[in-house]
Amino acid sequence: MIPSRSLPPCPSLSPPSMSITTTTPTLSTLPHEILLQIPSHLLGAPLPCTDHRVLPLTYLARPTALLALSHTSRRLRAVFLPAFYEHLEICASRKVADGYVYKGVHHADGYGFAVWSRELALDFAREVVGRMRVLQRRRGEVAGFVRTITLVLTEFEIPALIQGLSLLPNLTTIQIIYSPSTFIQPALTKALEPYTFRSVRTLVLHLTAYAMLTACPNVENLTVHARWTRIPEKDREELVEYAPRLKRFRCLPLDAHLVEDVVALLPNLSEIPPIWTSGLTADTLNLLKRMRNLSRIDLVMDHPNPTQFHADLEELLLPENTTLKELIGTAKEILPDFGSVRVFGQARNTPSRPLGSGRMVFWSSF
């Protein structure tokens, strides 16, 4: 008889426990290419900016966040300090809340209604002067980063601003969205006399800052926040002389009878201001055939509620609405194969719809 023996316990067949360590990504560990995407997701001043006034505090999100991130670490500073200076924005106020509420008063949130006071003017003047001093003091470190500057211009800081702009070798865009003072024109003209900004290719100007064009001879893109007829006749006639390389010119929509004037003065442009369809005929539109470089035609229809209209234009393109269909057809014949015809809606200014009642709203492209 074989004596019984106690067998050793059977080893467990279950796999040994393993501890898995997970690392949560932090801003400082994100790849460089991801960090470079962050500025595009922050709200800042658009280009071109269609708000011709002080922007509310929400538009401070981008510059505020980028400046704070640049103070976090050396690695983040190398990414976000250039991003902060690349688009220099001095156009929004912490004192103006969303909906354009300033000092408890709500200002209509429509095109042309502005919030303004001496207090805000001095705020912007101090900020412009401060930024220009930083650029001068740290010229070798940060001045080369600046590509675009967007600002509200007052009469208090013009000499400091112009001197500061002269320090920016890579500046390509100047955008002055609001300059309400009547003292700005002569002061700006005088301050610009010794300077020429040859690197600038794009100007977006409030009408009172139009003199900036005279110092930027290589401008290719010009937007003026005004009607064509508000630009002094002498300045309209000398536009090509000021900017011989001009390719694109935009202002508020043209009345049909002004098309011939624009064609005569600016025959070599590739883009011209949008045109109201009211009173526009195929014969008038055919004047654009003289513009050999034209690549786009924008038509604007007067509509009381453009944002509520169907973008496919089905209603307006019904057989009984032959006028718009004919205008679109004529415009397409004028343009080369790669050209485009775009249709917008806007509530036009009338006695019952005061200035500021509406903006251009894109409807469709053909």
The residue extents of the domains of the chain are 42-252, 265-366
The conformation of residue 252, written as its DSSP 8-state character, comes to S
The whole-number pLDDT of residue 20 equals 59
CATH class name, domain 42-252: alpha beta
Band of the pLDDT at 357, cuts 50, 70, 90? Answer: very low
d(CA 292, CA 240): 16
Query: Pick from 59, 62, 82, 61: which is nearest to 70 by CA?
Result: 82
List, for residues 36-92, the tens digit of each pLDDT value: 888 888 888 888 888 888 999 999 999 999 999 999 899 899 999 999 999 999 999
Query: Pick from 223, 206, 193: which is nearest to 298 by CA?
Result: 223
More confident residue, 109 or 33: 33
d(CA 49, CA 253): 16
List, for residues 150-192, the tens digit of each pLDDT value: 999 998 989 999 999 999 999 999 999 998 887 899 999 999 9
Report CA 289 to chain centroid distance, whole Å: 30
The conformation of residue 35, written as its DSSP 8-state character, comes to H
Q: Is the pLDDT of residue 111 over 70?
A: no
Mean pLDDT over all residues of the chain?
A: 85
Predicted model pTM: 0.86
Contact (Cβ atoms closer than 8 angstroms) between residue 209 and residue 184: yes
Residues 6+ away with beta carbon under 8 Å from 327:
277, 280, 282, 285, 299
Contact (Cβ atoms closer than 8 angstroms) between residue 296 and residue 269: no
